[in-house]
Amino acid sequence: MSVVVAGCKVNLGLRITGIRDNGYHELDSLFWPLPRPCDRLHISETGTSGIVVRCDTPGIDLEHNTLTRAYAALAGRVPDLPGIEVRLVKGIPTGAGLGGGSSDAAALLQWLNKKLPDPLSEQELAAVALAVGADTPFFLKNAPCRVRGIGEIIEPCGPDALAGMHLVLVCPDIHASTPQAYADYDAAVQASNTIPGQNCLTKPESKANGTFLSGVRIDLDMHNDLEAVVFARHPQLAEIKANLLRLGAGAVAMSGSGSSIVALFAREFHVESQAVAAMLQGENRRVYAHVL
């Protein structure tokens, strides 16, 4: 049996730049991988065919999920995939904007690809991953990337600009629906008679202005176009953001379509960021502190 660890990602800013004819939203976002929280995949070959998924976490559809989609997508390209059983141990909360399902799918694709006598190339595997989900190709790289389009345009970017900074991730016990977030966004944009890319829901910000941490500008736009509509449904998230800013964070934003909130602290704020993580830990939320 193999045990594969699948980390998560946060969005350090998210802009909606357009909507395609098929209804998919085009994005521009900085994806940043984190080792925690994480899922674990316990994978065993069965000697038969197909995939069996087992998971003790309530609400996981064991027949139709990102793992079964990943297996099916690869089987469509490669004959005679080994039959496997995957026991999924969830550590990444669902409905949190952390890409847990996409990360699991990417981890399984990489494991299966290594088992092939003639493994797919990086580009071929990325094409399979995109068929599973928009975020899945990013997790094949597992490095900071600017992600555009519907997730197919991935540009690695060096982590130097944020090196040494401290990140606090707050995961409240709130499930934020991604389809609902985009539906609410579309309805708000339609009601305001604007178009994506010219969002009227929040105060406009310029990427050229960047984000200031302890007086030092970094080329980072932490604005998330989905925040306004998600916060309207879950006002507790706005309270978490306000508390992080009050406690000294230089920049705070919701990750993806929520519900997790991510905060950046300047390099010299190590003690404060650890203290903030401890202060915000509670029965209804999990908090993680990272050094970038």
Cα-Cα-Cα-Cα torsion 270, 273, 274, 279, nearest 10 degrees, comes to 160
| C-alpha angle 104-122-138 in degrees, rounded to nearest 5 | 40
Q: 168-195 burial by CB neighbour count: b if 16+ within 10 A, else e?
A: bbbbbebebeeeebbebbbebbeeeeee
Can you state the angle between helices 235-246 and 270-280, rounded to 10 degrees?
A: 150
Which has the closest alpha carbon to 141: 120, 164, 118, 125? Answer: 125
For residue 128, give every residue at least 6 positions away whose Cβ sits within 8 Å of its Cβ, in sequence order, or none.
70, 73, 74, 77, 109, 120
> Residue holding tokens 């306004």?
228
- CB distance 257 to 183 below 8 Å: no
Beta strand extents in the chain (DSSP E only): 2-19, 25-45, 51-55, 84-89, 145-149, 153-156, 166-172, 211-213, 216-218, 251-254, 261-265, 285-291
Catalogue the active-site residues: 9, 135
